[in-house]
Amino acid sequence: MKTLMTFALLLGAALFLQAQRFSPSFIRFSKKQTAYLTLEDGTELQGNIKDYDWKKGLLKKIKFEDLNGNKVKMKPDQIKHLYVMPSGFAKFSAGMEFLTDAKQWDGSNDLDKDIIGKGYVYLEKTPVRIGKKTHELIMQLANPTVAGRVRVYHDPIAKETTSLGIGGVDLVGGDKKSYYLKLGTDTAFRLKKKHYEDEFNLIYKGCPEMIEKYGDNPRWADFEKHIYEYAEICK
């Protein structure tokens, strides 16, 4: 009974904290729920992801079976974007409160809100600057409901602060110390916690309200709030 009550309290806290957070980051996908893929040539596929390989946090290969039973192995350079369902308990532990946010969409992006609203995560190929080189990578979008002028991607190797969990299961992940940002059509770059104050004016340029309100002392803890507020007040 005590364990159940503790779980309920932690879950309640998780849902509350997730209410204004980015989409959680996942590396495990359902092999039973339908996945939606769009290839570089415009071909749209529906089917099941039978297997997938990660290397250093990056998606390297997908084994896919379409609705007609045709099986194919794909590398990231063949894929434009995809919607996939997180596997098992991962979806539940993400906090269902986030899913209601999918109904409060910024009209400046063309993602499928109905699919996102069912609990799917969205990944897309984008140019990413790593060091002095630029790579085309499949990245999970962290702010799908407000992915307009600023697209935030989960950093696959980001460090985190302590998470909230029970029985070895994270109900709320720790605060990430880095993300990748794409401003307009520019190449995505890595933004670290320690550099947020220095990069603040660059990220929110063209939005004097944001700079006036937060520019003197921008807090990394408010980064997610800033992204959502930017989409709201500087449309």
In a domain, 116, yes or no: yes
Q: Is residue 7 part of a domain?
A: yes
How many CB atoms are closer than 10 A to CB 51? Answer: 12
Examine residue 186 and state whether it is found in any structural domain, yes or no.
yes
What pLDDT is stored for residue 232 in this prediction?
87
Q: For the chain, what is the domain count?
A: 1
Long-range contacts of 55-63 (CB under 8 A, 24+ apart): 56/156, 56/157, 57/27, 57/156, 57/157, 58/137, 58/138, 58/156, 59/123, 59/138
- List the chain pLDDT tens, one digit each, 235 residues: 545 444 444 444 444 444 457 888 888 899 899 999 999 999 999 999 999 888 877 888 899 999 999 999 998 899 999 999 998 655 555 545 555 555 567 666 789 888 988 889 999 999 999 888 999 999 999 999 888 889 999 998 887 665 555 444 444 555 789 999 999 999 999 999 999 999 999 999 989 999 999 999 999 999 999 999 998 888 7
In a domain, 198, yes or no: no
**In 10 A of CB 83, how many CB atoms?**
21
What's the confidence (pLDDT) of residue 215? Answer: 92
Residue 168 has what pLDDT?
Answer: 41
Structure tokens at 104: 């409060």
Q: What pLDDT is attached to residue 195?
A: 96
> Which DSSP category does 34 fall into?
-
What pLDDT does residue 209 have? 95
pLDDT value at position 10?
46
Does residue 218 sit within a domain?
Answer: no
What pLDDT, on a 0 to 100 scale, did the predictor assign at position 15?
Answer: 40
Q: Classify residue 81: in a domain, yes or no.
A: yes
Q: Determine, yes or no, domain membership for 207.
A: no
Return the closest-CA partner of residue 15 out of 81, 97, 135, 72: 97
- The answer as to whether 78 is a domain residue is yes
* Domain ranges, residue 121: 2-192
